[in-house]
């Protein structure tokens, strides 16, 4: 069974929802980068202050600051696997993750793309904005930045994992249970 997995996809593709299900069912350690960044910002730390403007704008936080956030990770050794959600999002992060895992004598088994259209992402983000009040979901310009970042970074990132035979694309437009079942078929 594949036990070190990363979920990738457009904003609102369902990454965190599926990561939570995997963590619950299989005892995986869950690492959601967006959630970590928001927690760091809410803590009011110096690092959080440096991150806040970038997250508010929908652009990607710099590698240097991402590295600092990663240094705060607890040792996940006792868990049965790891599910990354929203990380890596670009090639330098993929290389950083390779290095971190290698140091722990681990390696990523699979990057799973939860594939949805831009129209579906926009619809889901608008719904989520009403439900959770996330400020980066409410502002059209910020949403567009996030969609544009994906457009720019996704092809190289996907190619990086395809070359290693560690990439799979799943239809993320189906309902939560169907997407989860499809993920399980690929583990």
> Nearer to ligand AMP by C-beta: 124 or 146?
146
Q: Shortest distance, CB of residue 114 to ligand AMP, whole angstroms?
A: 12
Question: Within 13 Å, how many C-alpha atoms sit on residue 133's CB side?
Answer: 0
DSSP alpha helices (H): ranges in 29-175?
Answer: 33-42, 46-57, 63-70, 91-103, 118-132, 135-138, 140-163
CB atoms under 10 Å from CB of 177, counted, come to 9
* Among the listed residues 9, 14, 34, 172, the single contact to ligand AMP using CB under 6 A: 34
* Among the listed residues 8, 87, 150, 160, the single contact to ligand AMP using CB under 6 A: 87
- The binding track of 102-141 with respect to ligand AMP, each residue x by CB under 6 A or -, is ----------------------------------x-----
Please name the residue that has the structure tokens 């990663």.
Answer: 70
Looking only at residues 3 through 22 of this chain, which bind ligand AMP when binding is defined by CB under 6 A? 11
* Among the listed residues 8, 14, 28, 89, the single contact to ligand AMP using CB under 6 A: 89
* Among the listed residues 4, 22, 61, 83, the single contact to ligand AMP using CB under 6 A: 61
Q: Shortest distance, CB of residue 88 to ligand AMP, whole angstroms?
A: 6
Question: Within 13 Å, how many C-alpha atoms sit on residue 26's CB side?
Answer: 22
* Among the listed residues 6, 40, 146, 160, the single contact to ligand AMP using CB under 6 A: 146
Please name the residue that has the structure tokens 């890596």.
Answer: 88
> Nearer to ligand AMP by C-beta: 73 or 181?
73
Cα 82 to Cα 3, 45, 109, distances in angstroms: 6, 26, 10
Burial (0-12, 13-18, 19+ Cβ within 10 Å), 9? buried
Which residue of this chain has its Cβ atom nearest to ligand AMP in the complex? 34
Burial (0-12, 13-18, 19+ Cβ within 10 Å), 111? buried
> Interface with ligand AMP by CB under 6 A: which range of 1-9, 60-68, 154-162, 175-183?
60-68
Binding site for ligand AMP (CB under 6 A): 11, 33-34, 37, 54-55, 58-61, 66, 86-87, 89, 93, 136, 146
């Amino acid at each position: 069974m594949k036990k070190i997995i990363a979920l990738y996809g457009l904003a609102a593709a369902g990454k965190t929802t599926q990561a939570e299900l995997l963590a619950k069912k299989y005892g995986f350690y869950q690492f959601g980068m967006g959630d970590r960044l928001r927690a760091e910002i809410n803590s009011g730390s110096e690092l959080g202050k440096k991150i806040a403007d970038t997250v508010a704008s929908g652009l990607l936080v710099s590698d240097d600051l991402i590295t600092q956030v990663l240094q705060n990770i607890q040792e996940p050794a006792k868990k049965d696997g790891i599910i990354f959600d929203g990380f890596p999002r670009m090639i330098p992060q993929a290389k950083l993750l390779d290095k971190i895992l290698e140091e722990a004598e681990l390696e990523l088994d699979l990057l799973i793309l939860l594939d949805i259209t831009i129209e579906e992402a926009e619809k889901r983000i608008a719904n989520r904005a009403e439900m959770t009040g996330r400020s980066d979901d409410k502002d059209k310009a910020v949403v567009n930045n996030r969609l544009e970042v994906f457009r720019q970074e996704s092809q190289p990132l996907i190619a990086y994992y395809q070359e290693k035979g560690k990439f799979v694309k799943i239809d993320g437009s189906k309902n939560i249970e169907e997407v989860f079942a499809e993920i399980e078929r690929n583990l």
